[in-house]
Amino acid sequence: MFRKKNVLKKSLGFLLITSILVSVIISVMVTANADTTHFKSSEFKCKCCGKLPSGGISQDLMNKLEVLRSKLGNRKITIVSGYRCPSHNKAVGGAKNSQHLYGRAADIIVEGVAPSTVANAAESIFSNGGLGRYKTFTHVDVRGYKARW
Ligand SMILES: [Zn+2]
Ligand SMILES: [Zn+2]
């Protein structure tokens, strides 16, 4: 009887540890950074609170930024604004339904490349997304349809 109890305790403990391990592995997989060769999702954190969207930064966005980066001669790309939490989006006067709210947009600066040149290069890569031309940076997003401003 005593031994049986011990065996039961041990196997329960083993089950507990296994289930904890499995849930840790699953949560790591679900929230896994969509890091690419030159971009870390941490670079897209909200400027006011350091948060990322629950679903992470769009993998499509990061992949397209990689394509853009190589198209422009592998120069360093700085993410000026990536994810914006609702209050930060309001604070910076972002659009009500801004793609920045969903981790699908980035305002970027490419080292040594004029924003207009960056935008021209982004045209075809983001043909099915948003492209905003600004004096000092370029906005790109992967909204799923073409938008230009
Ligand atoms: Zn924030
Ligand atoms: Zn933007």
Q: Specify if 36 maps to a domain.
A: no
Q: Specify if 58 maps to a domain.
A: yes
Domain identity same for 76 and 21:
no
Domain identity same for 11 and 72:
no
Domain interval for residue 104: 41-148
Cα of 71 from ligand 2 centre, angstroms:
21
Cα of 101 from ligand 1 centre, angstroms:
10
Ligand that lies nearest to the alpha carbon of residue 138, given by its number in the listed order = 2
Cα of 129 from ligand 1 centre, angstroms:
24
Ligand that lies nearest to the alpha carbon of residue 82, given by its number in the listed order = 2
Three-state secondary-structure class, residue 80:
strand
Cα of 83 from ligand 2 centre, angstroms:
9
Q: Specify if 35 maps to a domain.
A: no
Domain identity same for 54 and 88:
yes
Give the closest residue to 53 by CA, choosing from 114, 100, 21: 100
Number of separate domains in the chain: 2
Cα of 47 from ligand 1 centre, angstroms:
6
Cα of 51 from ligand 2 centre, angstroms:
17
Which CATH number covers residue 116? 3.30.1380.10
Domain identity same for 4 and 63:
no
Ligand that lies nearest to the alpha carbon of residue 99, given by its number in the listed order = 2
Cα of 91 from ligand 1 centre, angstroms:
10
Per-residue pLDDT of the chain (149 residues; tens, 9 = 90+): 566 666 666 776 766 666 756 665 555 555 555 799 999 999 999 999 999 999 999 999 999 999 999 999 999 999 999 999 999 999 999 999 999 999 999 999 999 999 999 999 999 999 999 999 999 999 999 999 999 99
* Statement: the pTM of the whole predicted model exceeds 0.95: no
- The phi and psi torsions of 98 (rounded to 5 degrees) equal -55, 140
Domain identity same for 81 and 129:
yes
Domain identity same for 108 and 60:
yes
Domain identity same for 45 and 6:
no
- HSE at residue 8, side-chain half, CA atoms within 13 A, is 5
Domain identity same for 26 and 74:
no
Give the closest residue to 68 by CA, choosing from 32, 31, 120, 33: 120
Domain identity same for 110 and 131:
yes
Domain identity same for 76 and 121:
yes
Instruction: Label the pairing between strands 130-133 and 147-148.
Output: parallel
Domain identity same for 77 and 109:
yes
Domain identity same for 8 and 52:
no
Q: Specify if 57 maps to a domain.
A: yes
